[in-house]
Amino acid sequence: MFYVHSTYNHIITQRSGVEMDNKFKHIWKIRVLPKVQIFVWRLLHKGIPTVENLLKRNIVLG
C-alpha cells in the first residue's frame, strides 16, 4: 500500500546525486495515480510548500 509519509521519509533519507537521477526516471513508471507521481516529483524537487520552503522564499506565515 502507498503511504505519502513513508515515501517522503524514504526519499529524504536516500538523497544523493546518482540515486536521485534513477528515482526521477522511476517516478513515471510507478503504477499509481498521476497526481501521486506529480506529488512525488514535486517532493523530490522541494516544490511542496512546507514551512521550511516557504520561509526560504520569504513567505510570511500568518
For the stretch 1-59, pLDDT in tens is: 667 777 776 766 665 555 656 667 777 788 889 898 888 888 877 777 788 878 888 88
CB atoms within 10 A of CB 39: 18
pLDDT at 30: 80
Query: Residue 50 sits in which domain range?
Result: 4-56
The answer to whether the beta carbons of residues 51 and 61 sit under 8 Å apart is yes
Rounded distance between C-alpha atoms, residue 17 and residue 20, angstroms: 5
Which pLDDT score is estimated for 23? 66
**Is 9 within a domain?**
yes
Specify the pLDDT at position 25: 75
pTM reported for the whole predicted model: 0.49
Number of domains in the chain: 1
pLDDT for the residue 1? 65
**In sequence order, what DSSP letters do the residues of 28-56 get, joined into one string?**
TTS-S-HHHHHHHHHHHTT-S--HHHHHH
Q: Is residue 61 part of a domain?
A: no
- Which pLDDT belongs to residue 12? 66
